[in-house]
Structure 1
Amino acid sequence: MEALLPVLKSHPGPAVLVCSLLFRVAHQLLQRLPVPTVVRQDAFRSWKWKNLSVSMVHSMLTGTWALTCVVIWPETLSNIHSFHTPLSYLLICVSTGYFVHDAGDIILTGHGRGSWEFLLHHAMVIWCFLYALYTQLYIAGALIALFVEVNSVTLHLRLMLKLANAQSSSIYHINKIANLFTYVMFRLGTQFYLTWYIVNNYSWMDHGGYFLVTMMMMNIMMVIYFYRLLRTDFFPRSKRYVGQNGTHNNNSKKILTFKKSEFQLCSQGAEQGKMWEERMNPGELSQQLLRSLSAAPLNFRGST
């Protein structure tokens, strides 16, 4: 590892590209694994499943890697500006390569417009990580930022279970609790710790303003995502159907159309009833209604 470090430091750009290609290879290998039928039958779900599979590999790898580095070298937490080891530098190369791969996968498969939030997040991460790799500063800060990948494991599993329509399974409910815990502990906790460090050391930090603005943007995104997570998993306001992108699609148009049709049917029935009352005596009207009811097909279905 000591011999590899000078090569990585002298060519961080090519090192990132090599790591990106390795994640592409992982993407191809993961396609050999079995996929749920409901996912395989839909083009978007199939792409999303493959994309999340690679993301899961990255999260499990880098989250464990980052925690291990901090346990072995506790100075990482206090000397964010200049401390790093060969393993931590390599970790940032690997993670940057993943974000480059994932951004490319989203754009080249035509899902950029629907995933603009992820592209914005990836752009900020790639810029910060490349700055750390080229200047050899804030490597420890980038490593601490990867603590969020511990939560990403449960987030990715949550989305994959939704794609497989497994929201009623016991593993989904267990993961829901684990996801909430890891979100607060590793995602929000990490974001706020890095923000606190930048604010308290802003006066002497290199490009402190840029990193502070970036962290504040990240913090806003994380709080919004946390609100969405709580609202969806713990405080649902009404029954909704999960869309292919993990968000909720309400059927307001269907309901509106149904209600309108129902109103029209009621109006027509009222008008016809009024005409019958004018033309028939009560005995004839009762017989006519009985004949109509017995002939009506019982195939009524509400909106789905």
Structure 2
Amino acid sequence: MLSNDVYSVTLDAIKVIAFAVLFKVFSVLLVAYGPVPSNTIAIGKQFRWYNITVSLLHSTITSLGALYCFYLDPDLTSDISKRFTPAAHIISCLSTGYFVYDFTEAIKRKKISSTWEIIIHHTVVIICFGIAVFSRQYVSYVIVALLCEINSVFLHARQLLNLCGFSPSSGVYRFNGILNISTYVLFRICTLAWMTRWIVLHRSSIPQPFQTAGILGMMVMTVINVILFARLLFKDYVSSGATNKPQHSLNNNVVKGKNS
């Protein structure tokens, strides 16, 4: 008979794999039956449309899921290492499954030069989230991290608007841009700052392997998110002001977000 620990890890692994498969199934159905804007077809970006749509689904589910976890347990951050709820754990499994799915999709593209940021980001997230999922510790930390996905909703919406051919001067693009920058500062930059501060203040009580993963993870996330924020500001408020043309080149590299 399997020990309780082995059984628990096996069950959690099945959950993560199951969610990864579900995202793959959704992607396949989207490719087979999902509508694609004519502008996206004209510029040959159908795969990007499908990929961002799946990412938007993940961001919507996990951001709402994270908020729901805080609704169920307002004291979720009172004990980051030990606080555990079934809802928080299943949302963590779902998000980890998504990143496993999207990581494999990035590898399959075989264009490392254009997906290296995604691969690095997803590797770090899978390791950090995986530690929480399988140890059932620091699950609350994952839920805090998933607050970044609130911003990812607008990041992905921005990319879809670009693929649809919306002008940066259009009302809907500008409105999304305001929400995008606002939530980037509030739910991404502030969240990452809080997470970094927590690790620094509690580093003596965190086991060394977890501490190393957490510190390295936050370093990578900080660098990636600073670069992404600079790109957003340049493309939407500097470059677009000069060219007044939609931008299609922002990498799909949020910590999904691609935080998350």
Whether TM-score is above 0.5 comes out as yes
Distance 1:232 1:39 in 2: 19
217-226 or 83-92: bigger deviation: 217-226
Match of 1:239 among 234, 239, 243: 243
- TM-score w.r.t. structure 1 length? 0.74
Retained in 2: the 8 A contact 1:66–1:147?
A: yes
- Asked if residue 211 in structure 1 is aligned to residue 214 in structure 2, the reply is yes
Residue correspondence of structure 1 range 155-234 to structure 2 within 5 A = 155-167=155-167, 168-206=169-207, 207-234=210-237
1:240: how far off? 7.7
One-letter amino acid matched to 1:232: K
Report the secondary structure of 1:78's partner residue. Answer: coil
- Map Cα deviations across residues 210-255 of structure 1 (whole Å, 9 max, x no partner): 31222122112212211221122123374386664337xxxxxxxx
- Map Cα deviations across residues 180-213 of structure 1 (whole Å, 9 max, x no partner): 1110111111101110111111111123233122
Retained in 1: the 8 A contact 2:125–2:217?
A: no
Distance 1:138 1:217 in 2: 19
Distance 1:7 1:71 in 2: 30
177-186 or 77-86: bigger deviation: 77-86
Distance 1:102 1:8 in 2: 25
Residue correspondence of structure 1 range 85-164 to structure 2 within 5 A = 85-164=85-164
User: Could you tell me which residue of structure 2 aligns to residue 297 of structure 1?
Assistant: none
Distance 1:56 1:87, change over 3 A: same
One-letter amino acid matched to 1:51: N
User: Could you tell me which residue of structure 1 aligns to residue 21 of structure 2?
Assistant: 21
Distance 1:172 1:240, change over 3 A: closer
User: Could you tell me which residue of structure 1 aligns to residue 39 of structure 2?
Assistant: 38
- Map Cα deviations across residues 132-174 of structure 1 (whole Å, 9 max, x no partner): 1121111110111011110000000101111121124321110
1:113: how far off? 2.5
Distance 1:244 1:226 in 2: 16
Which consecutive aligned stretches of 4+ in structure 1 deviate over 3 angstroms post-superposition? Answer: 6-10, 240-245
Retained in 2: the 8 A contact 1:8–1:90?
A: no
1:42: how far off? 3.8
Once superposed, what is the RMSD of the aligned Cα atoms?
2.0
Distance 1:243 1:229, change over 3 A: closer
Residue correspondence of structure 1 range 57-96 to structure 2 within 5 A = 57-96=57-96
Distance 2:202 2:126 in 1: 23
Retained in 2: the 8 A contact 1:96–1:129?
A: yes
Retained in 2: the 8 A contact 1:62–1:95?
A: yes
Structure 1, unmatched stretches of 5+, are 1-5, 248-304
Distance 1:36 1:8, change over 3 A: farther
One-letter amino acid matched to 2:28: Q
Distance 1:99 1:144, change over 3 A: same
Retained in 1: the 8 A contact 2:128–2:213?
A: no
- TM-score w.r.t. structure 2 length? 0.86
Retained in 1: the 8 A contact 2:92–2:143?
A: yes
Distance 2:159 2:137 in 1: 35
One-letter amino acid matched to 2:232: L
Between the aligned residues of both structures, percent identity stands at 33
More contact order relative to length (CA 8 Å, sep ≥ 6): 2
**How many residues get paired?**
241
One-letter amino acid matched to 2:202: N
